[in-house]
Amino acid sequence: MSCAVRHRAGLLLVAALSLLLSSCASGPSPVKESADGPSSLDLRAEDVADAVPQAEPLARYGNHSPYEVFGRKYHVLKSSKGYRERGTASWYGSKFHGRRTSSGEPYDMHLATAAHKSLPLPTYAEVTNLDNGRKVIVKINDRGPFKDDRLIDMSYGAALRLGMVSTGTARVEVKAIDMADAPRLATNTKPAGSAALVASSGQTWLQAGAYGRREGAEQLASRLKSADLKPVSIRDGDDLFRVWLGPYDSYAETESVIERAIELGFERPLRVNR
């Protein structure tokens, strides 16, 4: 064998060994965490209903004060009463969908919720996009955004309502809702946990969501049925399509359905008058 042939064969052997060792060392390629982004559903701004303000106790989680993130301490306000502030809003979506929020509730990117660094959890607030005048009522049930120049992080659904999905951020005003105004804001919907909400027949219905378009209500109804949360019906009135569960004959059964819905990642259903 000539020197040239032996040299070429040696090079090929070294290359093959290098490739083999490289493959053994690296193993399977690590799975990259999915980037954040919009919903895969054909969701429109009019499909996203305002959060319904209701009197609730402070969340069991997410209200410890002070708390520390990235080496910086944050303090939770004792009350949201009178809170009103302007700043920059961002939004978060698919990367966090289904995960637990700081309050313990599952994050549903299709609902009107938000994250805030210092307001008590939960707080209901009206958020106004100062660039286009659009408004949305959100339930603040999460912590963040932990950037100095950000005031609030909107859910994807709330960002759709504000018309800020494509821009990523927007100048907003956040105004906490005084619960004295809740009855005016929550048309045909009452706070959970009140015995006065049980219909005179002794049966109880739950509202799982309300939408401006029937398609949105039908999507939620389909998801509820797939999760074996039944019976499900869609009520049309006041230019809204409301998704109802029930009726249920006892308080225990109603509570069981509420807890089951939360465990499966749905927003807490609200008791309603029929």
Give the highest mean pLDDT range of 186-190, 203-207, 237-241. Answer: 203-207
Task: Report the predicted TM-score, pTM, of the whole model to 2 decimal places.
Answer: 0.60
Report whether 14 contacts 7 (CB < 8 A). no
- The domains located in the chain, with CATH, are 45-183 (2.40.40.10), 187-272 (3.30.70.1070)
Residue 58, Cβ neighbours under 10 Å: how many? 13
What mean pLDDT do residues 262-269 have? Answer: 86
Report whether 177 contacts 132 (CB < 8 A). no
Question: pLDDT tens-digit profile of 79-95?
Answer: 999 999 999 999 999 89
What amino acid occupies position 27? Answer: G
Question: pLDDT tens-digit profile of 16-52?
Answer: 444 333 333 333 333 334 588 888 777 888 888 899 8
**Cα 95 versus chain centre, distance:** 11
Question: pLDDT tens-digit profile of 144-201?
Answer: 999 989 999 999 999 999 999 999 999 999 999 987 765 555 443 333 333 323 333 4
What mean pLDDT do residues 255-274 have? Answer: 82
Residues forming a β-bridge with 236: 241
Give the pLDDT score at 150: 96
